[in-house]
Structure 1
């Protein structure tokens, strides 16, 4: 836990805070007013709130997370990390402030609009939280317990728990709201995966150019990156050639492409999208 806490940078703090704010906003103004219990602790809290109207959903989420973390410490041990603890309890705090300062209201009477927009906003927020190494806790903990003691895969465990909450929503709020909640559960998982891929997308380049020395110098000095020089053989020219292999962010790729276009318009560039890059200069492989 100490190592994870040390890596909790200011950028992590800001991005996770924005992420949990979006999750809170999607819950407070789209899902909660329309009784869309789309899985997770938040979905369970919405169901409980229907029986305990006087208790805010944010407070219910806080209590449920406290219970789940206590159970997890007993059954799984510690090691959640500062980011997950902050995201879990920070979400409850932001929801509580929203309820206090800007009481939730129904922004649209259309249940589909509320389900779709709410899921989209929550999905963006959750993707940001996950992308910066945190989690909002909740049903993730139950999934890990099922995995350890019943040997059920984490993904299947999480889906199982969320579907049980969704089915409970059907019994509590009726078939329409319940089915929308089940649909949101399915869409949300896919949306989060796609958004995380988008956040982490880099460009993988293979470059053949007679100006390779200048290009290498630009990559190292201007982009502060490195590249690998591969030896090749030109099938058409029957000559030995050097192939530059480099992975860059979207912004650096655009800069390099413009530079190559300027110094060698006849260069050959192959570009692929890479959804995860681990190692020096990118995401720490230890995380």
Structure 2
């Protein structure tokens, strides 16, 4: 139960963060970087009797109906909570902070807007939810026309940017393209997790000494694999441990102090769960 509650709280918080990033850094400066919010920015210029937030809510309601009709109830439910909060959040900021401009520097707005949006979106997706919007259109096209999701989303964002060219000019459209690119890169980075660690693998004739050093000096968990050299057929223990990035330089030096001929290689771990990282055995 606590896990589900935490997921809901995370979805609500990050949906509010998403609406904050969109409103203060993108909507306020007419940077239509794709999605429902980008479409709403353009439509609000054509039909100014409704605000960006209101148009966003209307479009999301329409898309919810499409999701339920074409994709089924379970898919539609996943989009409702986050997308509704994002639309209502933008409407709230429009009403309470109608003339508040945090900065007029377009580059800062693009960087912070894209950064906040990509981070909050990644956390929403990480909690098995969706911000709705054009994701629904992409899912429908993917299901019925076998067009990949990536191509669908790119095509939709491209159309929004082209619409922005006619409404806001080529310069704003180029900033929108920059925002889309940064959001894509940022999303891919954040979705893999913020708690990156480094896995160290060591092949050495002094595996016992290195194992003791890691256990006693650094208090790290160690796994030993039995191995055999492909050429020499010599039996060895392969050492595997996972540590924070900042610990690697000193651990590497200590390994080479024990065995200057040790074969050491590393790879990045996106997220680590378990004893010593997400919980302690004595808690």
TM over 0.5: yes
Which residue does the alignment assign to 2:280? Answer: none
Which residue does the alignment assign to 2:180? Answer: 185
Q: Does 2:69 match 1:77?
A: no
Gaps in structure 1 of 5+ consecutive residues: 283-287
Mapped partners of 1:89, 1:215: distance in 2 = 54
1:15 Cα offset (Å): 3.6
Q: Is the 8 A contact 1:32 1:46 kept in 2?
A: yes
Q: Indicate how the Cα distance of structure 1 residues 200 and 153 shifts in structure 2: closer, same or farther if over 3 A, else same.
A: farther
Mapped partners of 2:74, 2:211: distance in 1 = 48
User: What pairs up with 1:1-287 in 2 under 5 angstroms?
Assistant: 8-10=4-6, 12-80=7-75, 84-197=79-192, 199=194, 201-207=196-202, 208=204, 209-211=207-209, 227=223, 229-233=225-229, 240-246=235-241, 248=242, 250=244, 254=247, 266=258, 269-275=264-270
Question: Once structures 1 and 2 are overlaid, which stretch shifts more, 174-183 or 75-84?
Answer: 75-84
Q: Indicate how the Cα distance of structure 1 residues 20 and 216 shifts in structure 2: closer, same or farther if over 3 A, else same.
A: same
Q: Could you tell me the TM-score, scaled by structure 2's length?
A: 0.76
1:71 Cα offset (Å): 0.5
Q: Is the 8 A contact 2:199 2:267 kept in 1?
A: yes
Q: Indicate how the Cα distance of structure 1 residues 28 and 249 shifts in structure 2: closer, same or farther if over 3 A, else same.
A: farther
Gaps in structure 2 of 5+ consecutive residues: 278-283
1:62 partner SS: helix
Q: Could you tell me the TM-score, scaled by structure 1's length?
A: 0.76
RMSD of aligned Cα (Å): 3.8
